[in-house]
């Protein structure tokens, strides 16, 4: 897939995600501070005074510890997706957009789990949480389980360093209990 085709796919996914999120969210005001988000998240205001917060966690791995696994666009896609959502949401119903972007060496099993629990876990009942993940995805032939490959993961350490879909599901179920809606976009094989 060419870079242009990837941008078309990303743009379409963005449009669908925003439509779904805007359709499902409420317009009540949620007024609370988030001291945790400051060190790891960029915060952008500019939306309406009364609206929800869009929480975006965007993850992309192009450079792996094992260079044979390297990809070309996953890290750039994660950055572009966060930027596009932040820019589009400024004109939409969100009063604020908070982003956490993890790329390449920042992407470990632990950093993803912490981002889901600590960053997206701050979202409130009127907020929308969005998770974008780009990189390698593999299916373990022995168990049939799907794994996302963070930076240090390989076929040899898949069970310890890979992130199994059931772990994603569990964390997203916890986030889902606290927010208006959750949007998940996976740009991986076997997703």
Separation of alpha carbons 179 and 124, rounded Å: 5
According to the model, what pLDDT value does residue 77 have?
Answer: 97
Quote the pLDDT of residue 143: 87
Other beta carbons within 10 Å of 111: 17
On the question of pLDDT at 127 being above 70, the answer is yes
| Residues pairing with 184 in the sheet | 131
176 within 8 A of 182, measured Cβ to Cβ? yes
pTM: 0.76
Closest CA to 34 of 91, 92, 98: 98
Of 107 and 32, which is predicted with more confidence? 107
Instruction: Please enumerate in sequence order all residues whose Cβ is within 8 A of that of 73, keeping only pairs 6 or more positions apart, or say none.
Output: 3, 6, 62, 134
pLDDT of residue 23: 36
Q: Is 142 exposed, middle or buried (0-12, 13-18, 19+ CB in 10 A)?
A: exposed
Q: What is the mean pLDDT of residues 59-85?
A: 96
High-pLDDT (> 70) share of the chain, %: 73
Are 191 and 137 in contact by the 8 Å Cβ rule? The answer is yes
Length of the chain: 191
* 59 confidence band (pLDDT: 50, 70, 90): very high
Match 């390297």 to its residue by tokens: 70
- Give the integer Cα–Cα distance in Å for 61 and 73: 8
Task: Over range 117-129, report the average pLDDT.
Answer: 95
Q: Which residue, among 93, 99, 117, has the nearest Cα to 170 in the 3D structure?
A: 117
Give CA torsion, residues 61, 63, 67, 72, to 10 deg: 80
């Amino acid at each position: 897939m060419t870079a242009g085709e990837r941008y078309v796919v990303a743009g379409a996914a963005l449009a669908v995600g925003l439509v779904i999120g805007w359709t499902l969210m409420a317009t009540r005001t949620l007024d609370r501070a988030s001291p945790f988000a400051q060190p790891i998240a960029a915060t952008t205001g500019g939306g309406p005074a009364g609206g929800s917060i869009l929480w975006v966690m965007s993850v992309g791995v192009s450079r792996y510890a094992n260079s044979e696994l390297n990809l070309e666009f996953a890290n750039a896609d994660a950055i572009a997706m966060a930027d596009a959502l932040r820019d589009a949401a400024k004109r939409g119903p969100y009063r604020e957009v908070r982003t956490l972007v993890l790329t390449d060496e920042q992407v470990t099993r632990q950093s993803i789990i912490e981002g889901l629990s600590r960053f997206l876990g701050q979202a409130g009942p009127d907020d929308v949480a969005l998770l974008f993940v780009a990189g390698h995805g593999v299916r373990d032939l022995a168990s049939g389980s799907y794994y996302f490959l963070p930076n240090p993961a390989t076929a040899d350490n898949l069970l310890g360093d890979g992130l199994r879909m059931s772990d994603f599901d569990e964390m997203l179920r916890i986030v889902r209990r606290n927010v208006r809606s959750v949007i998940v976009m996976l740009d991986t094989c076997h997703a």
